[in-house]
Every structure is written in C-alpha cells, then in structure tokens.
Amino acid sequence: MDTSTLRHQDINHVWHPFTPMQEYATEETPIIVSGDGFELIDSDGQRYLDGISALWCNVHGFRVPAIDDAIRDQLDRVGHSTLLGLSNEPAIRLAKELVDRTPEGLNRVFYSDSGATSVEAALKIAYQYHAQKPGGPERRDLFISVAGAYHGDTIGSVSLGAMNLFHATYRDLLFNKLTVPSPVAFRLPVGHSRESYLEHCFAELERTIVENHARVAAFVIEPLVQGAAGILVHPPGYLKRVRELTADYDIPLIADEVAVGFGRTGTMFACEQENVTPDLMCLAKGLTGGYLPVAATLATDAIFEAFLDVPWAGKTFYHGHTFTGNPLGCAAALASLDLFDTNDVLGNIRSNATRLSTRLTGFAARCSSVGEIRHKGIMAGIELVKDAESLEPFTADRRIGHKVTLAARCRGVIVRPLGDTIVLMPAPAMPGELVERLCDNVFDAIENVLSEER
C-alpha cells in the first residue's frame, strides 16, 4: 500500500496513544514498515536510528535472528494456550530464568501482559496479602508512592501516579494514596539548598511511613530513576532507606522495574545497585527484548504463601489475563535473556553509559538552554529551559520538545520528549558508534530549534 493511502487511513481510523490527534493529522509522521538492526524504515524507504528503543523496550535491535528463530520455533509448537489451570514449557522455563536473575528471594512469578498490568497485579497481591497473612487479618488501604510517579495507565496504576497532566482527568475514579517528595534537587523550594532539600525528602519519607504504617498496604517505587517524570535520578542510598523503613514496619516494597530493568541503569536490575530485594518486582518492556507484550510480577515466598489454603477458603488470587504466560512471548524472552549473556550486553551498557556521560557533559557546557542533564546508565534526559540561571521553563505553547523531535526526524533519528525534556534511550545492545551518531544528531537538532526560537 502506498504512503498516501496508509496516511489517509491512519488519520481517519487510528487513535494514537499520548498523541494530540488534531495536530497529528497535520504532520506527515513516518509510517514504519520494517526494521534493520537499530534502524526503522518507513513506507518511503527513509531510515531512522531509533533513539528511544521503541519506547524503552527494544534491547537487541530489530529482526534479531536468535529471537526471530525462537518465535518461529514456538509457532511450530503452539502459539497460545491458557495458563489458567494449565501450564506451558516456555512460561515455566522463563519463570526459572527470572528467579535466577532477579534479587535473591523473589521465587514466584505471576505473568501478565504490560507494565501497567504487572503493577496492577502487585497492588492487588499486596492488598490481599494483609487480609490473609499470618497474624492477620489487617485492613491496610493506603499505598505510598513518590511525587511525579508514573506506573502505568490502568486505574490502579494511575491511582499511584502523581503526574497531573496524565492523571488529573481521572481523579474521581482513583483510590487515595500517600505521596512522599521525589528526592531530586532541581527546582528547589524557597529556603532550601540542594543538601537541605534532600535531607527534607529523607525526613518526609520516614515521617510518612512511621505515622501511617498501620494502614499502608505497600510502598511503590521506580528504583533509582523515575522515567516518565523526566528521567529523575534519585541520590545514592534513597532506595536502600526505603527498603529499611518498609522492612521495619512490615510494609511490602513494590519495585516497578518496568522501565529501569534489563540493564538500563547499568545493572540487570536497578535494585541490585543498593543490594535491595523488594517483596514484589514488576517487569515488562525489555522482558521480551521489545518483541511481544509479556510482563511479570515476582513475589517472595512469604507473600505467595499467604495465598495458600484449601480451595474453598477463598484465598486464591482471582486475577489474570487471557494471554498470561503467552508461549510466543516467553520464547522471545528466553532468547533475549540468552543474548544478554552471549553478547555481553551489560558490558556494552557500561561502555555506552560512559560514552553518554562524556557527550552529555560536553553538550551541557556549550548549550545555554540546558537547565539540567539527568543521566543514569543509558537513560538520559536533557531538560531545556528558557533561562538556565533562573530555570524558567519555556511556555507549553512553544512545544520546544516536540520541535526537537521533528528536527531530529529530519536528521534521521527518532526521539520522543517528555515535555521539554529530551530523552535519549539507546537500546542496551546498540553499538557505540550508533550512540555517537544519536548524540550528534540530537544535539544538532536541539541547537537548531533553539536558534530558531530566539
């Protein structure tokens, strides 16, 4: 089908997520028809380096032979069967692999199909756990999350969220939660220095837990980096302190590693960097190498055992999805995990993290509109501001971030901003020379847009 016909049908029939559709209809957005390595190819044959790894999920690139072959092999066996009362070989093998690779103690794997549903399952598990745990039941009806949190778009995960732009519309549908300040010292409240504000964040964390612990069902956190909030990087020790306090007060810790897992912060899982084992861990995005929608919620034995009893006791976890443990997706995930080992993907991440750090530091030194660069592993956010000294932002109607996206696209690179924060998210296996190309073109796009805006 030719591009004109595809575009007409796209505009008239496809409702795109997180997309202002009125404006989208006026832009000639690329229509992707294939991929090759770490590039996407549109219906006109134009190639684009994927700078956001297919919305933070692609790991090894596109058309990866080992993953393609694993899916084809599984297709010759069975494409899908239910996990409700049955099992399948790829789901079993993947569960064992995840148990072996995640922090010690996470021994039970509950499958779903997206990051949001993995968090939704964790919320319900934590809530039901307190009603059934030894020494219970306890009624715990509050969750704690971090300001600026984003945990997905189902109602439970939105309830945890703290991004007004995304969530304000649905406020009357949501359950109550408690929020602790994000430990990020960027635009500081009046009267605070960087040091005093971080001290305040740690103090508020402790106060909130101590004062409310009897009602708190779980503490939910994106470990080390809050992704959709603008790549907000937490200070060393914060995650560990959350774990200490939640353990002291028998509050399950839910680690949402949907965005930060599978190497993006520099280790396979972000929790490893502070030797933290959560009670529940949520995985998705990179789990299948970015191929198919499979997610997992991992739990400790202590959590799992609260759901064990005779069937008529009613302690079963009555929650699930049609495509839970999909064999094709699990086969892709197994192949992806194997590639982490055979291709030393974590070593590549470490090398590219250093490369990104050097390039970002150099760019910040020469660009007067960089308010802050936030960087952890291969996750990077460049926040652009009208005035770097006062940190005055550009007004929303100027759409600086979106203009950078369009300028980067003209240079053969796909990026997607978070407001006026330009996100660089190379795939974990992307070669270093392509990371250099990504930086060259995105930095050039930023400078071009800023020069035209002045």
Judge if 338 and 350 occupy the same domain.
Answer: no
The H-or-E segment that residue 297 falls in is strand 295-300
> Are residues 319 and 428 both part of a single domain?
no
Q: Which of 342, 367, 397 is the last residue of a domain?
A: 342
How high does pLDDT run on average in the chain?
Answer: 96
For residue range 150-203, list pLDDT tens digits in order.
Answer: 999 999 999 998 888 888 899 999 999 999 999 999 988 888 999 999 999 999
Residue finishing a domain among 342, 369, 390? 342
Question: Which residues are paired to 295 by β-bridges?
Answer: 112
Tell me what pLDDT residue 136 has.
82
- 13 lies in a domain? no
For residues 340-356, give the mean pLDDT. Answer: 98
Residue 135 has a pLDDT of 87
The pTM for the full model equals 0.97
Question: Residues 4-13: pLDDT tens digits?
Answer: 999 999 999 9
The CATH number of the domain where 52 resides is what?
A: 3.90.1150.10
| Predicted local distance difference test score (pLDDT) of residue 165 | 81
- 358/348 Cα distance (integer angstroms): 16
Q: In the prediction, which pLDDT does 13 show?
A: 98
Within this chain, do residues 313 and 437 fall inside the same structural domain, yes or no?
no
In a domain, 8, yes or no: no
Identity (one letter) of the amino acid at 370? V
Residue 139 or 285, more confident: 285
For the record, the structure tokens of 184 come out as: 């990020």
Separation between Cα atoms, residue 98 and residue 4, nearest integer Å: 45
Choose one of 284, 312, 342: the last residue of a domain.
Answer: 342
Residues 6+ apart with CB under 8 A from 355: 432, 435, 436
Q: Give the residue-averaged pLDDT of 381-410.
A: 95
Residue 362 belongs to what H/E stretch?
A: helix 345-366
pLDDT per position as a tens digit, 44-90: 999 999 999 999 999 999 999 999 999 999 999 999 999 999 999 99
Q: What is the mean pLDDT of residues 369-398?
A: 95
- pLDDT (0 to 100) of residue 359: 98
| Helix (H), strand (E), coil (C) string for 396-443 | HHHCHHHHHHHHHHHCCEECCCECCEEEECCCCCCCHHHHHHHHHHHH
Is 157 within a domain? Answer: yes
Average pLDDT over residues 15-20: 95
Can you give the residue range of the structural domain that contains 155?
68-342
Question: Are 310 and 368 members of one domain?
Answer: no
Query: What pLDDT, on the 0 to 100 scale, is given for residue 341?
Result: 98
Q: Is 232 found in the same domain as 214?
A: yes
| Sheet arrangement for strand 32-36 | 32-36, 39-42, 47-50, 413-414
Q: What is the pLDDT of residues 432-448, one digit of tens each?
A: 999 999 999 999 999 99
Q: What per-residue confidence (pLDDT) applies to 307?
A: 98
- pLDDT at residue 112 in the model: 97
260, 272 Cβ separation under 8 angstroms: no
Helix (H) or strand (E) holding 219: strand 216-221
Residue 371 CA, chain-centre distance (Å), reads 23
Q: What CATH number corresponds to the domain at position 98?
A: 3.40.640.10
Q: Are 330 and 404 contained in the same domain?
A: no
Confidence (pLDDT) at 340: 98
Residue 251 lies in a domain: yes
Location of structure tokens 């066996």: 77
- State yes or no: pLDDT of 287 exceeds 80: yes
- How many structural domains compose the chain? 2
pLDDT of residue 420: 97
* Whether residues 325 and 188 fall in one domain: yes
DSSP-derived 3-state class of residue 146: strand
**15 within some domain:** no
For residue 107, give the H/E element and its range: strand 106-112
Judge whether 47 lies within some domain.
yes
Q: What is the per-residue pLDDT for 174? A: 93
313 inside domain: yes
Q: What is the pLDDT of residue 388?
A: 86
Q: Do 332 and 378 sit in the same domain of this protein?
A: no
Indicate if 228 and 239 belong to the same structural domain. yes
Whether 300 and 348 map to the same domain: the answer is no
228 shares a domain with 91: yes
Q: Does a structural domain hold residue 95?
A: yes
pLDDT at 162: 80
305/164 same-domain check: yes
pLDDT confidence of residue 164: 82
pLDDT, tens only, 101-150: 999 999 999 999 999 999 999 999 999 999 999 988 999 999 999 999 99
How far apart are the C-alpha atoms of 296 and 229, rounded to whole Å?
23
